[in-house]
Chain A
Amino acid sequence: MQKTMYEKIWDAHLVRSSDDEVPILYIDTHLVHEVTSPQAFEGLRLNNRKVRRPDLTFATMDHNVPTTDRSLPIKDLIAAKQMETLAQNCAEFDIPLYDINSPEQGIVHVIGPELGITQPGKTIVCGDSHTSTHGALGALAFGIGTSEIEHVLATQCLLQHKSETFEIRVDGTLPYGVTAKDIILSIIGHIGIDGGNGAVIEYTGSAIRALSIEERMTVCNMSIEAGARAGMIAPDDSTYEYIAGRRFAPKNEAFDDAAEQWKQLPTDDGAEYDRTLILDAADIAPQVTWGTNPGMVTDVTGQVPDPAEMTSSDEKQATKHALEYMDLKPGTPMTDIIVDRVFIGSCTNSRISDLRAAAEVVKGRKVADTVNAMVVPGSQAVKRQAEAEGLHDIFRSAGFEWREAGCSMCLGMNPDTLSPGQRCASTSNRNFEGRQGKGGRTHLVSPQMAAATAVTGHFVDIREFSS
């Protein structure tokens, strides 16, 4: 029988399955961070349970960490306590930890692939919804809650129902100035933020194939913003090249053997998906969100929509609410919207290629006087690489702040937040109310668009900006 890639990985990880029981799925890799894990470790202790496979578990600190000088003590004592708790838990249960002072520290979804932990065909979970990122390398990766973290720690398994499969095929060539971020934002705009609810999306098509591995991560990362359980892209030569030589990647012959196996993973010809959506890359323009969820998005050449033109009353009301919160008037051209802050970072867009793309735009220019802009690399390794290439100098001399690695203003758990009423062009993944700080207003864009916005002080069509 022909199978999709999801079905192949699923079948290969079934520990137990029968018609009248929920399948037990084996988990190859469990990534852990400081915010969603303390209660899971506590649960283990209360029930006198151990971590079954500390060797398949990796921990880092990312959500809470300050991005300012790491040699200074952490001012937020509750956050510090949470980090300390993770360190204690990792020591107690023998789990490798890349802590705040580690040269490998970074956003969990950036360091997984970077260290070669993320590999095709693996099942990967983490107490974080953007775990879907790892699907870019052909893994089945999804976010779980704290009870499930405890479950995986104790059993290395999860009780899982099989998901629907959803193929999203993007054919053709991306126009100039259009990025992976614009692909995924425009997909979410098309299908809505619950358009993929519970499904496993496989992205296919020539436009997806043409993306680099880092760009594929940007696409898979935001699968959850369409409600999907996971997003994945079949591995190919770019994938194998990306993995080779990384710290936890198989070496020499073992690598060749692994690669042979990985080559079996792509969906068989003739295998059926439950659903398919086909898009043409040529139709995609640079995207900017205008509302309070990632589906509230439009082309940069578009305008803020009018609630009166919405069909359902729920949508009318949601749009009205969103525009009130965002302080925007229907009909305003997106390029007329003025921002106060620019944030380049997050597990969506903080990898070296993102920073290179942003630096390219910024080079020789200055951040507008009215804008406060910052770059937060996704990991210490990305930061080192960027500094080796001199990108930090480009950003700094343009007037950007250059920070230490972490989630930072993607969710503003650390001191990096918007003040009430501030408007931000952000390369992150969520523009929910208050996400970047209470009363803060977030517009999601690509790194190039964020960089250009920092320079002009308002949104610009990157296609015209660079020329």
Chain B
Amino acid sequence: MEAFKEHVGLVVPLDRINVDTDQIIPKQFLKRIERTGFGEFLFYDWRYLENGDPNPDFVLNHPRYAGASILIAGVNFGCGSSREHAPWALQQYGFKAILAPSFADIFRNNCYKNGILPISLPANIITSLGQEAHKTEGYRLMVDLEDQSVVCPDGTVHTFEIGDFEKYCLLNGLDEIGWTLQYETDITAYENRGH
């Protein structure tokens, strides 16, 4: 897995709550058997018009947000289907971190496994960061995982929570399967207990 330590990037605000994984990556793109090639289909139905042209109204298509790598969204981001294609699409598009007041459970897990950092911050802070991003062209944030902080251009620091193990995995780009396999004797012992 890709490691995550710190990241400075352009911020794009997606002013929607309850963004579900069907929107992040619609089902017609789930037929691929590879782990790659999903970035171009991210938010497909919002991003493209009927004729396949980019939808000029969709925020990711505004030229000022080209190259954005930090996404700001509303509550319960990533709800719905367990498809890991959603974080794959976000990551392959170029997103490194997602900031929202809350995330859906499975989606958050899936992000960790792919080197994307989901950051929950109080709704009022998310709202004000989103407003800044709208107001200030080229608005960038710094995310520091070691310190568990988001640093604004004016120096304001917002700290966030993350589980110790998740932090450790991300910082080290840990192979979680390898981690579990070091306890193979425990697994075998469990199986032999007659379960």
- A residues within 8 Å of B by Cβ? 12-13, 15-16, 20-22, 24, 26, 28, 35-36, 38-39, 42, 47, 49, 52, 63-64, 76, 78-79, 81-82, 85, 127-129, 143-148, 150-151, 154-157, 159, 161, 193-194, 197-198, 224, 227-229, 293, 314-315, 317-318, 321, 411-413, 420, 430, 432-435, 438
Contacts and interface: CB of A to CB of B under 8 A. Distances in A.
Contacts, number: 167
Contacts of A36: 30, 82-84
Chain A contact surface mostly: loop
Nearest to B178: A47
Interface string B1-38: 00000000000000111101011001110111111000
Interface of B: 15-18, 20, 22-23, 26-28, 30-35, 45, 50, 74-76, 79-85, 87, 102, 104-106, 109-110, 113-114, 163-165, 175-177, 179-181, 183-184, 186-187, 190-191, 195
Contacts of B114: 147
B76 to A, nearest CB: 4
B16 A145 contact: no
Contacts of B31: 35, 64, 76, 78-79, 81-82, 413
A197 B87 CA distance: 19
A144 B181 CA distance: 19
A90 B15 CA distance: 43
Contacts of B87: 145
Contact of B33 (A47, A85, A433): A85
Contact of A159 (B15, B20, B180, B186): B180
A194 B79 contact: yes
Contacts of B106: 129, 143-145, 229
A147 B190 contact: no
A79 B29 CA distance: 10
A432 B80 contact: yes
A21 B179 CA distance: 11
Contacts of B102: 194, 197
Contacts of B110: 145-147
A161 B181 contact: no
13 contacts: A20-B164, A26-B187, A26-B190, A35-B30, A39-B34, A76-B31, A129-B80, A147-B84, A155-B177, A194-B104, A315-B17, A413-B27, A433-B22
